[in-house]
Amino acid sequence: EEPGSRYITHLSPSFGTAKQISATIIGYFEGITRDLSQLLAIGCDGTSVNTGWKSGVTRCLEMKLDKPLQWGICLLHFNELTLRHLFEMLDGLTNGPKS
């Protein structure tokens, strides 16, 4: 935790479009009567529904708040996909669900 900052919560909608997920996030904060005008950053994984530059969740939140946010994007999925393709190239495709 950075000095002067505070972690608020963790939300994990299990499905939905970027607009639905961002509406869920906004609804959560409205439900706990939090003023989002002081929100500076948001974190998420690197899936396109979250990071799409035109209509991803983070962009939808920026448009709703009418200000840019600092994006904290986890790149573990990026590494996972890159390494999976490398291993498939080197070792071939897997042949079962447990292999």
Altogether, the residues listed in the chain come to a count of: 99
pLDDT at site 1: 59
pLDDT at site 3: 74
**Each residue's pLDDT tens digit in the chain (99 positions)?**
567 777 888 888 877 899 999 999 888 888 887 778 888 888 888 888 999 989 999 999 999 999 999 999 988 877 887 888 888 889 888 777 776
pLDDT at site 2: 67
Asked if 56 and 16 count as a contact pair (C-beta separation under 8 A), the reply is no
> Could you tell me the two tokens for 28?
């959560």
E strands along the chain, which residues? 41-45, 70-74
- Cβ neighbours of 35 (radius 10 Å): 8
Give the predicted TM-score (pTM) of the model: 0.69
Q: Which residues pair with 41 in a beta bridge?
A: 70
pLDDT at site 71: 93
pLDDT at site 99: 62
Asked if 32 and 39 count as a contact pair (C-beta separation under 8 A), the reply is no
